[in-house]
Amino acid sequence: MNARNSITSKDEKLANRQLKDQWNNINWKKVEKLVNRLQVRITKAVKEDKWYLVKRLQYLLTHSYYAKLLATRNPTQNKGKRTAGIDGETWSSPEAKMKAALSLTDKKYVAKPLKRVYIEKHGSNKKRPLGIPTMHDRAMQSLYALTLEPIAEATGDRTSFGFRKFRSTHDAYQQIFVCMCRENSPKWILEGDIKGCFDNISHQWLINNIPMDESVLKQFLKAGYIFDRHLFPTEAGTPQGGIISPILANMTLDGIEKLLADRYHKGKNGRTNKNHAAKYKVNFIRYADDFIITARTEEIAKEVKELIKGFLKDRGLELSDEKTLITHIDNGFDFLGWNFRKYNGTLLVKPCKKSIDKVTEKISNTIDKGKTWKQEKLIDALNPIITGWSNYHQSAVSSETFHKLDSRIWNMLWHWAKRRHPDKSKQWIISKYWHSSRKRNWVFSMGNRRLNLLSDTKIIRHINLKLDMNPYLDKDYFVLRKIKLGTKKLTSTANNLWDKVNKIWLPETETMKK
């Protein structure tokens, strides 16, 4: 018996070693290239309205060995890779990943219930639900997302920017600016917010309208969830936390742009009419489930609101009465962390108050948490927060805000330092924590570590996105655009460094000339 167990153990070790080598030797560039080739074919078939071909290509992709490898890798690389579902598995080893990839199949597939957790919603006492699927279900969702994403990109609204390849909040920001920056631009804005979008989408609408394997989609939607050791059914919605959920939500909301274009941009002959469009000035910009719609008058904005209500009702959704507002541009509105407002006819986009308060609170909490930390550790904790926030807002009118926040941070750090040394003089505290660096005084630093200043961030305008470009058919455009954006930032960084060098060396050069 012991000999048999020993042989079995050796066989398992050998099999695991082979699986490990197999996973570690995967050529991921080749995998991505082959999967992308099928996705491009799906996109072209959708554009040509060949839905029978789309279905065949989807089947090929979901049964492709390479797609299964990629679908297994995706959930093991994102933020939730260490968070297990109800089965406790996390796929942390190469052999576990390879074994999982080989076991992905739609035959007799049954999705396990989600693990329900509640996370705090910023700015309120409410908590929002989050569903955590098992790793196997995440990989299955990732596999079918590979087939749905090309369809969503080909059929989606041009001015939808959330959860889409090569699109960002900054593209939405730029589109709003283009629509509203001129003197004759629309003055009224409908700020739309959908009540519990992810939780309330009609399952029947998804089953009838999402072009994917119906039996697999039903498993994703009807899996249920476990909370406090009780199993609850899911009657509506897509689980927040699921890999496929953002794509399903986007496809549910796609069509608003066409609805508005048919009503406000086209004449009686059904063709786009510039005079008709200028009469109403209706523009639509959406990011995930938040959107804004511009209008020439308040009455048009109210009419648009009723149209949107009818569109959402068919999908089991409704607008939030509290958060859906009609606003004049002179009063301004907040969207994606920015405030859009006209001052004497000039549109200025600044970081909004909520975003400023949020980053201030985050920095304050970090400093409070680091009461006993060494200065180097505190600098290392604060720099990513400061850099991330300043980079996000560097395309807006942010210089004044950056200087104000620098002042706030300085005051917080001063209190932090004074608390540590209540018996020391101000001069002693200053000389310990603040030093001169590159002709600048009052630099919070220690050794080679230096606290970043928001005001050191140069303002860089974002590059407009060509809305008709498709990430599967026009990849070169997006690669070049990314390079251009990166070059602008590098140029700004180089100029910033050059300015600092000039500040140090020019005075000395002028003195030498004299």
The residue assigned the tokens 């909040």 is: 169
User: For the whole prediction, is pTM greater than 0.85?
Assistant: yes
Residue type, 66: Y
Give the separation between CA 225 and CA 71, rounded to whole angstroms. Answer: 23
Q: Which of 448, 455, 450 is nearest to 383 (CA)?
A: 450
CB 100 within 8 A of CB 87: no
**Residue 487 Cα distances to 68, 205, 378, 397, 478, angstroms:** 36, 45, 31, 21, 14
Given this model, what pLDDT does residue 119 score? 80
Per the model's pLDDT, the better-predicted residue between 88 and 311 turns out to be: 311
361 has a pLDDT exceeding 50: yes
Q: Which of 130, 111, 133 is nearest to 121 (CA)?
A: 130
Residue type, 411: N
CB 304 within 8 A of CB 178: no
Helix (H, G, I), strand (E, B) or coil at 350: strand
Averaged confidence pLDDT in the chain: 89
Q: Which residue spans within 49-148 are E strands per DSSP?
A: 114-120, 127-132
Helix (H, G, I), strand (E, B) or coil at 286: strand
Q: Tell me the pLDDT band of 510, cut-offs 50, 70 and 90.
A: very low
Q: Tell me the pLDDT band of 128, cut-offs 50, 70 and 90.
A: confident
- What is the phi/psi pair of residue 62, to 5°? -70, -15
The residue assigned the tokens 């089953």 is: 207
Buried b (16+ CB within 10 A) or exposed e, 483-496: eebeebeeeeeeee
Give the separation between CA 63 and CA 52, rounded to whole angstroms. Answer: 17
Write the CB contacts of 472 (distance below 8 Å, at least 6 apart in sequence): 36, 39, 40, 43, 150, 153, 154
Write the CB contacts of 198 (distance below 8 Å, at least 6 apart in sequence): 237, 238, 239, 240, 245, 249, 289
Give the total residue count for the chain. 514
Tens digits of residue pLDDT in 264-309 = 987 666 677 777 677 899 999 999 999 999 999 999 999 999 999 9
Give percent above pLDDT 70 in the chain.
92
Given this model, what pLDDT does residue 372 score? 92
Q: Tell me the pLDDT band of 493, cut-offs 50, 70 and 90.
A: low
Average pLDDT on 93-118 reads 91
Q: Which of 333, 338, 237 is nearest to 289 (CA)?
A: 237
Given this model, what pLDDT does residue 125 score? 65
| DSSP-derived secondary structure for 194-235 | BTTHHHH--HHHHHHHS-S-HHHHHHHHS--EEETTEEE---
Maximum average pLDDT range among 46-60, 74-88, 108-122: 46-60
Taken in order of first residue, the domains within the chain and their CATH numbers are: 14-155 (no CATH), 157-201+236-351 (3.30.70.270), 356-390+398-456 (no CATH), 481-505 (no CATH)
Q: Tell me the pLDDT band of 513, cut-offs 50, 70 and 90.
A: very low
Q: Which segment of 116-125, 153-162, 340-349, 398-407 scores lowest on mean pLDDT? A: 116-125
Give the separation between CA 463 and CA 178, rounded to whole angstroms. Answer: 11
CB 141 within 8 A of CB 240: no
CB 191 within 8 A of CB 274: no
* Residue 85: how many other CB atoms lie within 10 Å: 22
Tens digits of residue pLDDT in 443-466 = 999 888 899 999 999 999 899 999
319 has a pLDDT exceeding 90: yes
Tens digits of residue pLDDT in 367-388 = 999 999 999 999 999 999 999 9
Cα dihedral 432, 438, 440, 444 sign: negative
Tens digits of residue pLDDT in 206-263 = 999 999 999 999 999 999 989 888 888 888 888 777 899 999 999 999 999 999 999 9
Q: Tell me the pLDDT band of 28, cut-offs 50, 70 and 90.
A: very high
Q: Tell me the pLDDT band of 116, cut-offs 50, 70 and 90.
A: confident
The residue assigned the tokens 């455009």 is: 477
Give percent above pLDDT 90 in the chain.
69
End-to-end alpha carbon distance in the chain: 96
- Give the strand order in the sheet containing 127-132: 127-132, 114-120, 225-227, 230-232
Per the model's pLDDT, the better-predicted residue between 272 and 68 turns out to be: 68
